[in-house]
Amino acid sequence: MEHRWGMAIDLDRCTGCEACVAACHAENNLPLSDPESAAKGRAVHWIRVDRYYEGEFPDIRVRYMPVLCQHCDNAPCEPVCPVYATYQNHEGLNVQVHNRCVGTRYCGNNCPYSVRFFNWFEPRWPAPLELQHNPDVAVRPGGVMEKCTFCIHRIQRGKRDARDENRPVADGDVQPACAQACPAEAITFGDLNDPDSKVSRLAASGRATRLLEDLGTKPKVFYLQRGR
């Protein structure tokens, strides 16, 4: 395995601005929802910012936690799919094959992070937003599951560019849209196989924890937080 992609999110830096959410929407051609369908639980956000409140009003502290597909090594969504629409690829990505998905939604039930989204209808965009689709990312049909891809198209492009220039992929060559958009630079992306990459060093730091780690899913997203 040449690469093993991973992410580190610094919760002490995150301001909860949701720029990552907006960037992901634009980058990945996510369907938009209106207030009614969002209230119904039909909104699609491959990355979302969960809010946790500490203390009693008015002495309240809010903590933000961006949650996206954790690209688990032991992904619970993978074995339950009856048609292999989701599997672990050779670079450690948990990938979703939209063309193969028949829509049992079993993977969505079995994801402890609730980061899998279903296309309840054919996706629609209010004009003229359909003109700003990213040509690198396929639009998913109705009836299939979708989720964060770690911007796999950007990974491909990074590898292609490096190959054209006859060099290995350097740390920082590949950045998913959320990491690029984060004004606080809270999100770091890179190769966990490279011990010198920034993400590897952050993952090895004492501040790193993983979400619901005790389930044994071995996520590749690391949350950084000062020890308490």
Partner 1 sequence: MTTVPAAAIPRLQSREDLWRPLRGASRPYIVAVALAALAVAWGLIAWGYQIHQGIGVAGIRRPVMWGFYIVNFVFWIGISHAGTLISAILRLTHAGWRRPVTRVAEAITVFALMIGGLFPLIHLGRVWLFYWLVPYPNERGLWPNFRSPLVWDLTAIFTYLTGSVIYLYLPLIPDLAELSRKTGGWRARLYGLLCLGWTGSDRQWRALERAMKLMAGIILAVAVSVHTVVAWDFAMSLAPTWHSTIFGPYFVVGAIFSGIAALLLVMAIARKALRLESYLQPMHFENLSRLLVLMSLLWFYFTVAENLTVWYGNEPQEMSVFGARVRGPYAPYFWVMVLCNFVVPFVLLGVRRLRSIRTATISAVAVLVGMWLERYLIIVPTLATPRLAAAWGSYSPTWVEISITSATFAAMTLLYLIFAKLFPIIAIWEYHHVSDG
Query: In this structure, are strands 61-67 and 48-54 parallel, antiparallel, or unpaired?
Result: antiparallel
Q: Which helix (H) or strand (E) holds 160?
A: helix 152-164
Between 155 and 221, CB nearer to partner 1: 221
**DSSP structural state of residue 131:** G
Between 188 and 217, CB nearer to partner 1: 217
Q: Residue 53 half-sphere exposure, CB side, CA atoms within 13 Å?
A: 6
Is residue 11 within 8 Å of 46, Cβ to Cβ?
Answer: no
Shortest gap between Cβ of 36 and partner 1 (angstroms)? 12
Q: Which helix (H) or strand (E) holds 110?
A: helix 106-110
Between 144 and 224, CB nearer to partner 1: 144
Between 82 and 128, CB nearer to partner 1: 82
Shortest gap between Cβ of 49 and partner 1 (angstroms)? 9
Residues of the shown chain interacting with partner 1 in the complex, contacts defined by CB under 8 A: 37, 40-42, 48, 50-52, 67, 76, 79-84, 100-106, 108-110, 112-114, 117-122, 141-145, 211-212, 215
Shortest gap between Cβ of 86 and partner 1 (angstroms)? 10
Is residue 215 within 8 Å of 112, Cβ to Cβ?
Answer: yes
Between 106 and 125, CB nearer to partner 1: 106
Cα end-to-end distance, the chain, whole Å: 36
As a residue count, the chain comes to 228
Instruction: Say how far apart CA 175 and CA 190 lie, in whole Å.
Output: 8
Shortest gap between Cβ of 87 and partner 1 (angstroms)? 9
SS3 223: strand
Between 143 and 172, CB nearer to partner 1: 143
As given in the structure block, the two tokens for residue 94 are 């948990």
